[in-house]
Amino acid sequence: MVFFALLANAPSISAEKSKKTVPAKESRISAFEVTEGDRTFIELREAAKRNDVARSQTLAASLSNYPYDDYVAYFRIKPQLFDSAGGARADSNADSQVMAFLNQYQGTALADRMRNDWLLVLGKRKDWTRFDIEYPKFVLDDDTPVKCYSLQSKLAQGENPAKVGIDARAILLDPRYFGQACQELVPALVSAGGITPSEAKAIGRAASEMGFDTMSRRLGGEDPIADVVKAAKADPAKAYKDFLQNASRYSKENQAVAWGVIGQFLAKKLDPNADDAYRLQQELGYNELLSTEGQEWKVRAGLRAKDWTLVKNAIEGMNPAVRSKDPAWTYWYARALKVDGQNEKARESLELVADQYNFYGQLAREDLGKSNHAPARTKVSDAEIEVMASRKGFIRGERLYAMNLRFEGNREWNWELRNMSDKQLLASAEYAKRIGLYDRVVNTADRTKQEHDFSLRYPTPYRDELSPIAKQIDLNLAWAYGLIRQESRFIMNASSSVGASGLMQVMPNTAKYVAKKIGMTTYTNDKLSDTNTNLTLGSNYLNMVLVDLDGSWVLASAAYNAGPSRSKSWREKLTSPTEGAIFAETIPFNETRTYVKNVLANATYYSSVMHGQSQSLKQRLGVITPKAAIASELP
């Protein structure tokens, strides 16, 4: 469980990036012997991460016969493309080495990674001729700065600025990933007439909302409501009162965006005035100038206040790219339409997400009167599974996992999955299960579109250990598995950046507390990596927070991730009984909000897989009633 020391408006931490893992004990990869060459290779990888050119060259030279020759070459070349701060080097003279690498390893995951790196260098140089040759070959195309360089190239070559501006609006959503490329693109678009100065200031304001003030000025120049943004971040309640008195000093546009910023930060504090601030913004207009966070929290403020008119208006006013990236907005739009009496349109909206197996897909199916039963199982043959044992990406991935190079292992594994049919994906997932890579079982089975096997999407390893523990304390087994799937993806020795570890990601201090409470007198923190100990302590703690939070799975799941006191504080700030889905969607912490929704959606399908019966997510969510926060001794 990861307890936060972050502000409510802090950026979400990606679980995939924040967890450092080693192989689970049951995995076949534990049988691999890590050689001296492997240890040198790992050292080379670390030198390459630091962009230490000299050290990388020395280590690479000592690995002339190492079997992963492509990685050795990549780790030798890559530091020549970036400076010590991670910025692309326009003066890099490694072009011939890059081209030779791309030619030799064409079609591999690592070649695509190298092309990504080189595109950043070419963009930094403004070498648009070569950039435009290489960019179409970038398969993953998942790098925001590269996308921004591609738009810079289009501008430089005379493409219609208005069209480039349309493409830019779909990309410039999260300033955390802008880099230098996007910071250059925005003012260039303004100069070319592709976006307005007001839009540029809005993009800059989004950066300022996240604390990137220098970036903000580069993007949009001086912001006429910079003082309001600063005040709203520091004390939104005071900013709200002050702006009520001072709003007339600003233009209509600036009043609107100021109310949007104030509304966002009030909403993140669960302040009821967020609804009022956003309604004032709605009356003035300029929805398109709100940041992504501002647009999303406008919906949440309306949900919290049960202001369905605001919910509907907020979603209709969203940037299409923002609206389409999360099924939440399609679902809540349907709910708002239903309140408005537009039942047929509401049904049409629900149908758009009802075929998805996520939190909102489940809710949509229930609203449509459909079943949340796990779909029929598609079986694969032993022959189909055995074929996967010879796939190059899987073989390489296993070896990299054995060296605890999970990032590289995942790259190889996921690259192998490209263009696979559903049956092939299921065979790959079953193969991963046979060799004990349960995180790859889940990741791979999750990708199927038409044919499914939910026993692979929602596997139950360690059941012999977990079942008796859950039974002894009367803990719902499906919920416990739903939480483990979210916490660790069944990687026994997963550890978070804040010290949580094991299948249930238990914090050391929490483990000591629980061990004392349940009479585990021989417990020491070095035992937290033991499977049975970790499951015992995590399960007992989960049960403790459930009792402490009146049996609410929503509140207890949130408490397991962010701490009991925060769960209680969020409940205390409710003004009336609130359906669990709304409570979950309005949790202030990004990671905890996603976590709670995923854990409960997981639990629904785990229950279906275990019992073969249709399950209700809404029943699990329940209704959350306001209650004064009473402190407990639970950590």
In the chain, the number of structural domains is 3
Sequence-distant (6+) residues with CB within 8 A of 363 are 331, 581, 617, 618
Range of the domain at 436: 382-457
For 48-52, the CB contacts below 8 A with 24+ separation are 48/74, 48/75, 48/76, 48/78, 48/79, 50/79, 50/84, 51/78, 51/79, 51/82, 51/83, 51/84, 51/86, 52/79, 52/84
pLDDT in tens, 269-296: 999 999 999 999 999 999 999 999 999 9
Name the band, by pLDDT with cuts 50, 70 and 90, for residue 190: very high
491 plus 438 within the same structural domain: no
In a domain, 494, yes or no: yes
Alpha helical stretches, state H, 269-388: 273-284, 292-305, 308-316, 320-324, 327-339, 343-353, 359-367, 382-388
Compute the half-sphere exposure of residue 308: CA atoms within 13 Å on the CB side of its CA. 12
Q: How far is CA 429 from CA 414, 452, 458, 485, 614, in A?
A: 11, 11, 11, 15, 24
Contact partners, residue 314, CB within 8 Å, separation at least 6: 278, 282, 287, 295, 298, 299, 302
- Same domain? 482 vs 620: yes
Distance CA 312, CA 317 (A): 9
Please indicate, yes or no, whether residues 449 and 547 belong to a single structural domain of this protein. Answer: no
Give 138's DSSP letter: -
Residue 9 is predicted with a pLDDT of 32
- Asked whether residue 286 is assigned to any structural domain, the reply reads no
Q: Say what the pTM is.
A: 0.93
pLDDT above 70: percentage of residues in the chain: 95
What pLDDT is attached to residue 442? Answer: 98
CA 79 remoteness from chain centre: 28
User: Of 142, 176, 207, which one is at a domain's C-terminal end?
Assistant: 142
Strand 578-579 and strand 623-624: pairing?
antiparallel
Distance set, CA 472 to CA 361, 476, 479, 523, 608 (Å):
33, 11, 15, 19, 22
Do 429 and 478 share a domain, yes or no?
no
pLDDT of residue 401: 93
Q: Is the pLDDT of residue 28 over 80?
A: no
Same domain, 419 and 478: no
Q: Note the pLDDT of residue 381.
A: 97
Residue showing tokens 């990549």: 74
Are both 439 and 582 inside the same structural domain?
A: no
- By the 8 A CB rule, do 577 and 625 touch? yes
Residue 486 sits in a domain whose CATH number is: 1.10.530.10
Q: What is the pLDDT of residue 30?
A: 66
Section 238-265 average pLDDT:
98
My answer on whether 447 and 469 are in the same domain is: no
Compute the average pLDDT of residues 532-540: 97
Q: Is residue 513 part of a domain?
A: yes
The answer to whether 334 and 350 have CB atoms below 8 angstroms apart is yes
Tell me the mean pLDDT in the region 391-405: 94
The answer to whether the beta carbons of residues 477 and 470 sit under 8 Å apart is: yes
Residues 393 and 442 grouped into a single domain: yes
Neighbours of 45 (CB within 10 A): 20
Mean pLDDT across 145-153? 98
Same-domain pairing of 389 and 473: no
Domain boundary among 122, 142, 162: 142
Is residue 392 situated within a structural domain?
Answer: yes
pLDDT tens, position by position, 69-120: 999 999 999 999 999 999 999 999 999 999 999 999 999 999 999 999 999 9
What is the Cα gyration radius of the chain?
Answer: 26
Token digits of residue 343: 């039942």
Mean pLDDT of 387-391: 96
CA dist 316 and 326 (Å) reads: 14
Q: Assess whether pLDDT exceeds 60 at residue 26.
A: no
Q: Is residue 4 part of a domain?
A: no
Residues 601-626, mean pLDDT to the nearest whole number:
93
E strand or H helix at 623, and its extent? strand 623-624
For the chain, the 3-state helix, strand and coil shares in percent, each to the nearest 5, are: 65, 0, 30
Q: Which has the minimum average pLDDT: 27-41, 506-520, 525-539?
A: 27-41
pLDDT-based confidence at 547, cuts 50/70/90?
Answer: very high
- The residue among 457, 487, 508 that closes a domain is 457
Tell me the CATH number at 420. Answer: 1.10.1240
- Is residue 230 domain-resident? no
- Domain annotation covers residue 133: yes
| Statement to judge: residues 533 and 430 lie in one domain | no
Residue 242 lies in a domain: no
**pLDDT above 80: residue 334:** yes
Position 461 scores a pLDDT of: 97
Query: Is there a single domain that holds both residue 530 and residue 431?
Result: no
pLDDT at 495: 73
Domain shared by 428 and 490, yes or no: no
**Taking residues 562-577, what's their average pLDDT?**
97
Cα–Cα distance, 320 to 166 (Å, whole number): 11
Cα–Cα distances (Å) from 62 to 43, 77, 446, in that order, read 12, 15, 41
